[in-house]
Chain A
């Protein structure tokens, strides 16, 4: 009984955190709408929201299902490339300016099969559909053979690495090393227009808010509980008759689609997509955001992503060479002292040096 009460209390605290973050997001959205912020700040807010959405997607599978993906940049990039194609098509259709990609790829015009992407709903469905399909096939193959834990992390890392090598080739047909850039219009408005910046930032924050609330509802429900059970003891759950393959596959695909959405919102805001998004380093960084913020709480992922990236933005303006050291130090400190991320700070329970029973499946080490 006591254990049950305590876990309810913990859930309440968690809820408070989620509520706080959700309120903060709503407030941010309001500030963006009301105005008074410079275009640069609004743009930063939008980018941070995209990173937070990406971290949220990873937290779903790492925090709740115990599956660490070191290749989530792949789904982010799928969203980014699809929206890149959409923006190029729109730009050509509305301004008639030939984009650079046509020249350096040696084309006469944009490839014909990009045509349907000119409509945004099609692009949206395409981005989500492609990332879903990739995630489904890869996840099914991996989970079916019960690849998990470190193995899975390593294979996803190889997956994103291979994807990066593929996209760096010019022959692959997506702009190679240069990627896609030179977008002229977004949603019918010139892309330099402050309204576009504002609208995109607002959309990012609102999508993030919706994702947070939606995932929270999903995770405190039956699905979320089954996921946590899978994480903690998959064998037992299977013995009880649950099909864990299907559970894992569902959350894996959901996470991939959310990551693609993040990429879709991110690219119009920075105006470029290239294969560097697919570098294994970026994908590891996503996991780092989650780890720093705290896993398995959704709010933690958002806080981690926003904090780390805010520091990164600030440092890369003034002391870019310092950033890798700061990041490495952050990760090591969090790994050693705050096993459950910076959310531990709130409870001030720094479980120094390995005593913490963290969120890993218990049989992770033989």
Chain B
């Protein structure tokens, strides 16, 4: 197998060699052309680029040196010979032998000539570059103009490339060049290979071929172009759906974390905490405090601040929640509507305290190295790590909340009081204590939502209000009976929002979601998953 592949590569190299007769650069003429005005310079650059694949290594190194000098303006065009200035003395532009510096200026690079010279330098560097890094840089420069370059350039460069990874990349870029190959079979093969990796760029590249003369003349070519476009289009549609779903899922994750605490509290006590949005904001600010503390105390751990902040955020925000319950909410149990106003006053207080204490500007978060970037899955669908973090985090929170509610004594008590407060009290459940703990739990979960938001959204004192109404809608829609209601409602509201947004805009999305919820309540006034029982 390996032998076969080597043989193939060898043949490829030979084929390239035959395709364009080996021409050594006429160094003296090119150097003179480069100094003879704009037209000559264009011609010199074109010759260098065209000959790059068949040049000897020495010639390639010389071409790289010459074009580099042209770009750096270290070349001097003398009356006779031109020279290149360098720290170690000047050399002749054609022979690179030591020479006395010529008298004269460097040629001016016009807007049209600069890219030509840059391409020539990149082409030469692709062969003569000393390190893989140099060659990779050159490849990136060539990538943009690949379609206008001779295909042999990449084939030969790939054959000579010692670095396996870079070789793959060169071949990949070479496909674009092959699109312009005179050989139709090669063009068709290139179209197929480009279509195999669908992206917007691939689409425009192949779509451009529709205006190619061959498209009208050669049915096989036209069929390949059409098939390629259809395939890319299909994959792009798949990837755009995937992108939408993915964004919706990450939005739903945040909504879920913000709403689950609300739903637990509402189910238990019949009160809505209007300060929930501010608890989200507090969670983000505590995360920031953890980040800054780590920066000062243990910079080595800074990369992991999001993980280390989890227990801190939960405990701090839960403590704030418990304090709020004990001082205010508890006293208003018979008056849930007054609780709305009182918790709103608390939210006003928190926002303004943070505004006065910390300031109104957005907080600057470090993006941990493990959250930067993402993975390109298909088409232009990229799974970005920061959103994936929010999704996974919400999943873990869901499991943990479920475990607390179903597997711990506290959860048992919460469920008992939710179902029948009086009866639970009669059999000895300390209902007030359960309320307090549940309020703490719900607040802590909101704080965690703030933590998950840090890598995705702007963190400022106002951020809570952006989520709070959406998460109320989730609670209203999901009902208060089960976690499942909150999950389904969060997914629904999140996905509907992102599905409608590209069609009609963000505002229309909110309007439609609200109308759907009001309509839905006609059918199920207690939400998706209401606890069965006497209807009030």
The chain A residues found within 8 Å of chain B, CB to CB, are: 62, 68, 70, 138, 141-142, 144-147, 149-151, 153-155, 157-159, 161-162, 165-166, 168-169, 235, 280, 284, 287-288, 291, 321, 324-325, 327-332, 335-336, 339, 353-354, 356-358, 360, 363-366
Q: A284 contacts B344, CB within 8 Å?
A: yes
Q: A62 contacts B337, CB within 8 Å?
A: yes
Within 8 A of A (CB), among B328-377: 328, 330-342, 344-346, 348-349, 351-352, 356
Q: A162 contacts B510, CB within 8 Å?
A: yes
Q: 3 shortest A-B CB distances, which residue pairs?
A: A331-B345, A328-B345, A335-B342
Within 8 Å by CB of A332, from B346, B469, B523, lies B346
Q: B328 contacts A332, CB within 8 Å?
A: yes
Least CB distance from A280 to B in Å reads 7
Within 8 A of A (CB), among B504-532: 505-507, 510-511, 514, 517-519, 521-523, 525
Q: A159 contacts B514, CB within 8 Å?
A: yes
Residue of B nearest to A330 (CB): B345
Instruction: Tell me if B271 is interfacial: C-beta within 8 Å of chain A.
Output: yes
Least CB distance from A231 to B in Å reads 11
Residues of B within 8 A of A335 (CB): 328, 331-332, 338-339, 341-342, 345
Sample (28) of A-B pairs whose CB atoms are under 8 Å apart: A145-B521, A145-B522, A149-B270, A150-B266, A150-B272, A151-B476, A157-B469, A158-B469, A162-B510, A165-B506, A165-B510, A168-B507, A169-B505, A284-B344, A324-B349, A324-B352, A327-B345, A332-B342, A353-B331, A354-B331, A360-B335, A364-B334, A364-B337, A365-B270, A365-B333, A366-B270, A366-B421, A366-B536
Please classify the interface of chain A as helix (H, G, I), strand (E, B), loop, or mixed, using the class held by over half of its residues. Answer: helix
Residue of A nearest to B356 (CB): A321
Within 8 Å by CB of A145, from B274, B473, B525, lies B525
The complex places the Cα of A57 from the Cα of B345 at a distance, in Å, of 22
Within 8 Å by CB of A287, from B332, B339, B341, B514, lies B341
- When A145-B521, A354-B333 are in contact, do A161 and B340 touch as well, CB less than 8 Å? no
Within 8 Å by CB of A150, from B337, B511, B523, lies B337
Q: A68 contacts B345, CB within 8 Å?
A: no
Q: B507 contacts A339, CB within 8 Å?
A: no
The complex places the Cα of A165 from the Cα of B334 at a distance, in Å, of 34
Least CB distance from B486 to A in Å reads 15
The complex places the Cα of A67 from the Cα of B292 at a distance, in Å, of 46
Residue of B nearest to A337 (CB): B331
- When A336-B331, A354-B332, A364-B334 are in contact, do A280 and B340 touch as well, CB less than 8 Å? no
Q: B334 contacts A325, CB within 8 Å?
A: no
Q: A284 contacts B341, CB within 8 Å?
A: yes
The complex places the Cα of A57 from the Cα of B201 at a distance, in Å, of 60
The complex places the Cα of A161 from the Cα of B270 at a distance, in Å, of 23
- When A70-B340, A360-B337 are in contact, do A328 and B348 touch as well, CB less than 8 Å? yes
The complex places the Cα of A261 from the Cα of B367 at a distance, in Å, of 52
Instruction: Tell me if B269 is interfacial: C-beta within 8 Å of chain A.
Output: yes
Q: B269 contacts A141, CB within 8 Å?
A: no
Q: B341 contacts A161, CB within 8 Å?
A: no
Instruction: Beyond A158-B514, A280-B465, list 17 extra A-B contacts (CB 8 Å).
Output: A142-B521, A150-B270, A150-B340, A158-B517, A161-B469, A165-B511, A168-B507, A291-B341, A332-B345, A335-B339, A339-B338, A354-B333, A364-B335, A365-B421, A366-B420, A366-B421, A366-B536
Q: B522 contacts A327, CB within 8 Å?
A: no
- When A144-B522, A145-B521, A327-B348 are in contact, do A235 and B536 touch as well, CB less than 8 Å? yes
Residues of A within 8 A of B439 (CB): none
Within 8 A of A (CB), among B466-505: 469, 472-473, 475-476, 505
Residues of B within 8 A of A356 (CB): 334
The complex places the Cα of A330 from the Cα of B348 at a distance, in Å, of 12
- When A166-B511, A331-B345 are in contact, do A154 and B472 touch as well, CB less than 8 Å? yes
Least CB distance from A319 to B in Å reads 12
Within 8 Å by CB of B337, from A68, A166, A330, lies A68
Q: B518 contacts A155, CB within 8 Å?
A: yes
Within 8 Å by CB of B507, from A150, A157, A165, lies A165
The complex places the Cα of A68 from the Cα of B473 at a distance, in Å, of 17
Contact indicator per residue, chain B 306-338, by CB within 8 Å of chain A (1) or not (0): 000000000000000000000010111111111
- When A287-B341, A325-B349, A327-B345 are in contact, do A150 and B333 touch as well, CB less than 8 Å? no
